Amino acid sequence: MPELPEVETIRGKLEKYLIGHKITGVESHYKNFEGEGKNLVGGKVKGTRRFGKVLAIELDNGYSVVVHIKLTGQFIYRGSNLKNVPSLSSKVIGGVPGKHTHVTFKLDKGGYLYYNDVRRLGWIKVVKTKDVSEIPFIKKLGPEPFGKLTLDLFRQILSKSSRPIKIVLMDQEKLGGVGNIYANDALWLAKINPRAESKKLGGEEIKTLYEAIHKVLKEGIKYGGSSELAYVTPDGKEGSYQDHTLAYGREGEPCERCHKGIFKKYFLGGRGTYFCPFCQK
Ligand SMILES: [Zn+2]
């Protein structure tokens, strides 16, 4: 599932392309569309926000569109703010508009914002901007790296759980934005076993992990996110973090740090977990 770096990359591009565009119509046959599309019509985009893995597009008429793309949601923009339109990634199955386009936001100046979602697991809500923070997912969201998370807060969060550290890192109510790819990589970078009991981590380990999380998320943003599954950016391109992962997806490969371990994979909480048995004891 797209995580903080992927959703942040989408947010940045949406902001670049959409600001100043006015929404002139909304066509939706998406089962997970809540609220009235007509409330968006006539509104001009004035900004974008991100809450963990959730995006909000804010209009100047008091309404916002809030979106969780989940596993396969994709936003594709076509219009005058995109110079030299790149060819569409093959991950945009069916193209735009196509058989997986569930929502079309018509924009002024001949622009379009399409929402595709092959597995239809995402959701879109039209709400008053003042009510965005009341959406349950956002209300329950834990503090975010680059946001309200501090080292002290991180220590407190970890000290309250006896679950495996990897599960805690991915719990959106504990920490906002970290998912499977970046949790795997941060734990490898910090030399911590994904199964280690959260509250038993030592002070130095916690600090190292805190820094590792920020580092891998920054790398993710630098590479425009990871296009392992359906993730694409609003210009229709793919990210490249999948070519730079530290541990994620490296089952059977030698560990480049210790040169002794071979990455192993198992499932923890139902998610693929990769670690070096030698340096993440
Ligand atoms: Zn190793």
pLDDT tens, the chain, 281 aa long: 899 999 999 999 999 999 999 999 999 999 999 999 999 999 999 999 999 999 999 999 999 999 999 999 999 999 999 988 889 999 999 999 999 999 999 999 999 999 999 999 999 999 999 999 999 999 999 999 999 999 999 999 999 999 999 999 999 999 999 999 999 999 999 999 999 999 999 999 999 999 999 999 999 999 999 998 899 999 999 999 999 999 999 999 999 999 999 999 999 999 999 999 999 99
Q: Which two tokens mark 165?
A: 């550290």
**Cα–Cα distance, 65 to 126 (Å, whole number):** 5
pLDDT of residue 86: 87
pLDDT of residue 132: 98
* 95 three-state secondary structure: coil
CA proximity to 167, closest of 189, 147, 192: 192
pLDDT of residue 84: 86
- Is 271 annotated in the active site? yes
- Do residues 239 and 165 lie in contact, with contact meaning Cβ atoms separated by under 8 Å? no
**Cα–Cα distance, 85 to 83 (Å, whole number):** 6
Cα(280) to centroid(ligand 1), Å: 7
Cα(247) to centroid(ligand 1), Å: 10
pLDDT of residue 98: 97
Q: Kindly name the residue from 49, 155, 215, 271 that is annotated as catalytic.
A: 271
The angle subtended at Cα 195 by Cα 51 and Cα 155, nearest 5°, is 50
Cα(4) to centroid(ligand 1), Å: 26
Backbone angles phi, psi at 169, to 5 degrees: -60, -35
pLDDT of residue 229: 85
pLDDT of residue 55: 98
pLDDT of residue 40: 98
Q: Which of 127-149 are b and which e, b meaning 16 or more Cβ less than 10 Å from the residue's Cβ?
A: bebeebeebebbeebbbbbeeeb
